[in-house]
Amino acid sequence: MVLWIFSNGAKIDEGDVVAEFMVQKITHELLAPTSGHLDIKLEPEIEAFKGDLLALIHM
């Protein structure tokens, strides 16, 4: 994980860029699949692996 754009608990809308992450030195954007309140589960600068829970969106 590189950077969360929104803070924990923030209201987000479907399609918002909520985070940026890096894979093989290329930065990608993580888009919100739905609207709701962001519940971050993985802090920035922590290495994530396939299948890890990054965040939840509470409607």
The model's pTM: 0.86
Ranking 14-18, 38-42, 49-53 by mean pLDDT, the lowest is 49-53
- Domain parsing of the chain, residue ranges: 3-58
Kindly report the average pLDDT of the chain as a whole number.
94
Fold of 3-58: OB fold (Dihydrolipoamide Acetyltransferase, E2P) (2.40.50)
**Residue % of the chain over a pLDDT of 70:** 100
Q: Assign residue 5 a region: left if phi > 0, alpha if psi is -120 to 50, beta otherwise?
A: alpha
pLDDT in tens, 11-33: 999 999 999 999 899 999 999 99
Compute the average pLDDT of residues 28-46: 95
How many C-beta atoms lie closer than 10 Å to residue 15's C-beta?
11
Task: List the one residue out of 35, 45, 42 whose CA is nearest residue 10.
Answer: 35
- Tokens of residue 6, six digits: 């929104």
